[in-house]
């Protein structure tokens, strides 16, 4: 690394709502367990919006269901990532690939930052965007996020992005905590702000549908979004068995179609679903002891999977967990990938 003055705020990191205030530049780690920014991979990607996608390593969530677990649970899962890249070098790569013959044929028109969670690398991403726009003014940028960022970070993201893809995993706090280890309150707050004041930047809200866990969350979520603006786009993603939910059944087509119906009943005008439905699995039917920590069946089911994967602090809350620097969810290596 040469000049990294743009990373100075990592000396007391408050980029996300965990607000850990650790000095990442000196090797201290908070909930995300990441010190300096690391690139997992970068490639032309056909998924809408078509882009040159930069996957960054690490995440402020410890989701049970993550399909990108090898990236998001860095550095604790012993996976090898691409590593540090100077922003100037990565910016040149992004612009070159976007304007390559293959990139143009694909229709790739923006840099897409994903992960993991891009928020934990915000000053690094801002620098990449700055360098990219020096080369090609007006370069479009998509920011893919779980929404667990501070209001200040959201303001910064809205300042440089062209589009935002925004994941919402649950409406009830206990379900969100059981699935991710983090509260949903900042996520809903930021989702509402974007929907009210930056709707032109919203590519879509994305709701992963996990049978038996967040099915009952769909109606409250679609009602919530419809109250903001019924014209906001919502994409339901079919859950595929992954990570600590590797044995859980995937969402079937009937469930996905029902989610779209529910959205329309809520008044949403732009609701659709995507993914590969119907992947088999075996749902946990018993969750002894989980009723002491969670009220809803969905949260109890998620909590049971978390306990089976090694999490013994319930209800889950990674901000306050005394074991968040030795998290077994982050170290979990699934035997199945879908």
Half-sphere exposure of residue 179: CA atoms within 13 angstroms, side-chain side: 28
CA atoms of 18 and 148, how far apart (whole Å): 8
Asked if 179 contacts 217 with a C-beta cutoff of 8 angstroms, the reply is no
Half-sphere exposure of residue 307: CA atoms within 13 angstroms, side-chain side: 17
Domain at 32-331, CATH from 3.20.20.70, 3.40.50.2000, 3.40.50.300, 3.30.1490.20: 3.20.20.70
Non-local (6+) Cβ contacts of 107 within 8 A are 50
Non-local (6+) Cβ contacts of 66 within 8 A are 59, 72, 73, 242, 243
Question: For position 316, what pLDDT does the model report?
Answer: 97
Domain boundaries, the chain: 32-331
- In sequence order, what E strands does the chain have? 39-45, 51-56, 110-114, 140-145, 163-167, 202-209, 233-238, 270-274
1-49: pLDDT as tens digits: 678 999 999 999 999 999 999 999 999 999 999 999 999 999 999 989 9
Q: Distance of CA 5 to CAs 29, 127, 134, 145, Å?
A: 19, 11, 19, 25
- The DSSP output letter for 50 is P
Question: For position 1, what pLDDT does the model report?
Answer: 63
Regions in the chain scoring below 50 on pLDDT: none
């Amino acid at each position: 690394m040469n000049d990294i003055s743009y990373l100075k705020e990592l000396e007391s990191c408050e980029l996300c709502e965990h607000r850990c205030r650790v000095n990442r530049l000196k090797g201290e780690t908070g909930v995300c367990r990441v010190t300096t920014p690391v690139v997992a991979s970068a490639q032309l990607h056909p998924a809408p919006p078509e882009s040159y996608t930069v996957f960054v390593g690490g995440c402020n969530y410890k989701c049970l269901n993550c399909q990108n677990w090898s990236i998001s649970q860095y550095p604790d899962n012993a996976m090898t990532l691409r590593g540090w890249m100077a922003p100037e070098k990565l910016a040149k790569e992004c612009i070159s690939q976007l304007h390559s013959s293959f990139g143009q044929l694909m229709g790739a028109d923006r840099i897409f930052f994903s992960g993991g969670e891009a928020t934990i690398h915000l000053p690094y991403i801002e620098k990449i965007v700055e360098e990219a726009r020096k080369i090609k003014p007006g370069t479009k940028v998509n920011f893919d996020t779980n929404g667990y960022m501070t209001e200040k970070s959201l303001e910064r993201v809205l300042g440089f992005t062209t589009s935002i893809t925004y994941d919402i995993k649950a409406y009830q706090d206990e379900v969100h905590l059981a699935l991710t280890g983090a509260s949903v309150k900042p996520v809903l707050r930021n989702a509402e702000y974007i929907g009210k004041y930056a709707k032109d930047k919203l590519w879509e809200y994305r709701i992963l549908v996990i049978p038996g866990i967040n099915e009952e969350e769909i109606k409250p979520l679609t009602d919530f979004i419809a109250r903001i603006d019924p014209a906001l786009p919502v994409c339901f993603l079919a859950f595929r068995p992954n990570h600590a939910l590797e044995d859980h059944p995937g969402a079937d087509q009937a469930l996905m179609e029902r989610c779209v119906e529910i959205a329309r009943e809520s008044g949403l005008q732009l609701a659709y679903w995507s993914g590969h439905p119907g992947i088999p699995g075996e749902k946990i039917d018993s969750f002894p002891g989980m009723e002491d920590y969670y009220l809803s069946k969905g949260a109890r089911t998620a909590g049971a999977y978390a306990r089976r994967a090694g999490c013994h602090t319930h209800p889950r809350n990674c901000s306050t967990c005394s074991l968040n620097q030795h998290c077994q969810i982050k170290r979990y290596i699934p035997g199945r990938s879908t």
